[in-house]
Chains A and B, each alone.
Chain A
């Protein structure tokens, strides 16, 4: 089972939930940080890193001696990453999305594949039992989905991870990086807080993820704070609230010391352990629904 821990609003407790779930998980598990812009899971799981590699994306390199300035590449490129000015061919590798179109369309084979560094993929083990993968975007790199795909490709190569359940720590928001992070999952666990900002962004996230037709459930963090609208919304949208984490300064302080709250506070250990069977049941029910649909 693959669980994506997501939220619209940042700072609602995604990493707290992902780290704690991985900590209490009752089967082999891998924790995966796909918030590649600001990865934080390692600060809490403190994994031993076994390996790391640089991830790169294909961008065109021009051989101007072969270029006839026919503009076929510039006309095709949708991202202004390659242009012809008179008899000068210019490439802007940082704008390139790596579609390979210019290389395929060039009649003179004047373009060859080069690379742009996206960031780093690393992997290891936390506490001797939790598999760990993360991506870390190079500062200045704008596109995170290609690096996220490099992380998931790395997981696919790992036999241990193939046999394990996977918990994904997703980036905040509702646009392309958030969608890319939850796409591989069987189930999306939305973490929110009962404040006006938390509620508003929860609704955006729910709308963004709904077309994916994956089961969704909610964890309400800092319960007791703010207002009740989130509860009404979950009821009417049929999103089960699996747990409420109380608004408690001890939790915030444990987090501020880099501790996994399920390890630091016994009542939270049982709260997170209690989530596991409910997540499995939701994923199972969805798989049955899917099978019936296709039968």
Chain B
């Protein structure tokens, strides 16, 4: 079963608007929002939550002031500068605590508790385009990598149960922990960029990351007409690095207009950009199905485009 992810390195290149449009094009997909830190896909897909679960991951240290002898060993051993004191007593700053347990282990007074950390929630929902798996990490929480891995497993289970043949995921920006966690075992990564120095720079880094994990990639240049020379450079770079160049999409105010109406751009308007997006999606399906044997029929599109 192909797993296709939309990522970008740089934020704000249009990942989520494109993922929403692809979710509209795709029949038989389980939709997954792997940007657990600042998820936005639900704003367009308006999911109805069917299952809501707490996400616990790791622990945090809490000093019991009554048992603390103020020896200061915990603060001395903490590598993360998370323990302040002795003025006003020794305390753990939960925002800095990594949950490593070193202070708990070495406290001679046994004064440090180590409760579970409740980091967020995850959901299984239904949308007008099919089932969706998504989450919300609590503000400032960590372990987004583990939550991403959990969502991916839930999406696979859901695809199996519901007989759906594709997993389409919206990824996080950057190249760190949540992105790495979203890549392992993925069949195809669509890299969305824009023709700016930062778009180009971040594209190269996220493409390097995909190469590192042996994930085939294809590139979409969004807002391509903003700087046609840069777009041409990116296309040339794709040729040199044997990266598939999927499409150059023009800037179109319809994207924001659709977003304000909580619609995908392909629902909002059937022509112009939407035709381009539809072509891109066909190509992505072909590319994404190459690696796995279960082949998604690329003509199996739904919505008003299925003539």
A100-B262 in contact given A37-B176, A201-B38 (Cβ < 8 Å): no
Bits for B139-166, please: 1 = Cβ < 8 Å to A, else 0: 1111011000000000000000000000
Complex contact A143–B177 (CB within 8 A) = yes
Complex contact B137–A10 (CB within 8 A) = no
A196-B105 in contact given A37-B174, A142-B180 (Cβ < 8 Å): no
A226-B260 in contact given A9-B40, A139-B212 (Cβ < 8 Å): yes
Binding site for A on B (CB under 8 A): 9-13, 16, 37-38, 40, 43, 58-59, 77, 79-80, 95-96, 98-102, 105-106, 137, 139-142, 144-145, 172-181, 194-198, 201-202, 205-206, 208-209, 212, 223, 226-227, 230, 256, 259-260, 262
Binding site for B on A (CB under 8 A): 8-12, 15, 37-38, 40, 43-44, 76, 78-79, 97-101, 104-105, 137, 139-144, 171-179, 183, 195-197, 200-201, 204-205, 207-209, 211-212, 225-227, 249, 252-253, 255-258
A10, A195, A249: most-surrounded residue (chain B CB, <10 A)? A10
Complex contact A78–B139 (CB within 8 A) = no
Once bound together, how far apart are the Cα atoms of A200 and B230, in whole Å?
31
**Chain A residues, Cβ within 8 Å of B101:** 76, 78, 99, 101
The smallest C-beta distance from B90 to any residue of chain A, in angstroms, reads 18
Please name 17 further chain A to chain B contacts, defined as beta carbons within 8 Å, in addition to the given A197-B40, A252-B226, sorted by A numbering. A38-B198, A78-B58, A78-B100, A99-B98, A100-B102, A140-B212, A142-B145, A144-B176, A171-B174, A173-B37, A174-B140, A175-B144, A175-B178, A176-B144, A196-B259, A196-B260, A197-B16
Once bound together, how far apart are the Cα atoms of A137 and B198, in whole Å?
16
**Chain A residues, Cβ within 8 Å of B100:** 78-79, 97, 99, 101
Complex contact B77–A137 (CB within 8 A) = no
Once bound together, how far apart are the Cα atoms of A195 and B197, in whole Å?
24
The smallest C-beta distance from A212 to any residue of chain B, in angstroms, reads 8
**Chain A residues, Cβ within 8 Å of B142:** 175-176
Residue ID in chain B nearest A258 by CB atoms: B197
Once bound together, how far apart are the Cα atoms of A38 and B11, in whole Å?
9
Once bound together, how far apart are the Cα atoms of A175 and B176, in whole Å?
12
**Chain A residues, Cβ within 8 Å of B9:** 38
Complex contact A142–B176 (CB within 8 A) = yes
**Chain B residues, Cβ within 8 Å of A257:** 227
Q: 5 closest Cβ contacts across the A-B interface?
A: A10-B11, A11-B12, A208-B139, A99-B100, A37-B174
Once bound together, how far apart are the Cα atoms of A187 and B59, in whole Å?
30
The smallest C-beta distance from B149 to any residue of chain A, in angstroms, reads 12
Tally of A-B Cβ pairs under 8 angstroms: 175
Complex contact B77–A139 (CB within 8 A) = no
The smallest C-beta distance from B58 to any residue of chain A, in angstroms, reads 6
A139, A196, A252: most-surrounded residue (chain B CB, <10 A)? A139
Complex contact B198–A43 (CB within 8 A) = yes
Residue ID in chain A nearest B144 by CB atoms: A175
Residue ID in chain B nearest A179 by CB atoms: B140
Once bound together, how far apart are the Cα atoms of A204 and B39, in whole Å?
10
Instruction: Please list 15 pairs of residues, one from A and one from B, whose beta carbons are closer than 8 Å in the complex, sorted by A's number.
Output: A9-B12, A37-B179, A43-B197, A43-B201, A78-B101, A99-B80, A101-B102, A140-B180, A171-B174, A173-B38, A173-B174, A174-B37, A196-B262, A197-B43, A204-B38
Residue ID in chain A nearest B180 by CB atoms: A142
B37, B101, B141: most-surrounded residue (chain A CB, <10 A)? B37
Residue ID in chain A nearest B105 by CB atoms: A76
**Chain B residues, Cβ within 8 Å of A76:** 101-102, 105
**Chain B residues, Cβ within 8 Å of A100:** 77, 79, 102
Once bound together, how far apart are the Cα atoms of A9 and B12, in whole Å?
7
Once bound together, how far apart are the Cα atoms of A40 and B106, in whole Å?
42
B141, B176, B180, B206: most-surrounded residue (chain A CB, <10 A)? B176
Complex contact B140–A175 (CB within 8 A) = yes
From B40, B137, B174, B181, contact of A38 by CB (8 A): B174
Complex contact B38–A104 (CB within 8 A) = no
Once bound together, how far apart are the Cα atoms of A78 and B142, in whole Å?
14
The smallest C-beta distance from A145 to any residue of chain B, in angstroms, reads 9
Complex contact A11–B10 (CB within 8 A) = yes
Once bound together, how far apart are the Cα atoms of A227 and B257, in whole Å?
9
Once bound together, how far apart are the Cα atoms of A255 and B105, in whole Å?
52
Complex contact B43–A196 (CB within 8 A) = yes
**Chain A residues, Cβ within 8 Å of B180:** 140, 142
A40-B10 in contact given A175-B142, A211-B95 (Cβ < 8 Å): yes
Complex contact A99–B102 (CB within 8 A) = yes
The smallest C-beta distance from A72 to any residue of chain B, in angstroms, reads 9
**Chain B residues, Cβ within 8 Å of A144:** 174, 176-177
The smallest C-beta distance from B70 to any residue of chain A, in angstroms, reads 20
From B11, B96, B198, B259, contact of A195 by CB (8 A): B259
Once bound together, how far apart are the Cα atoms of A40 and B173, in whole Å?
13
Complex contact A137–B99 (CB within 8 A) = no
Complex contact B209–A139 (CB within 8 A) = yes
A195-B226 in contact given A37-B174, A140-B209, A174-B139 (Cβ < 8 Å): no
**Chain A residues, Cβ within 8 Å of B198:** 15, 38, 40, 43
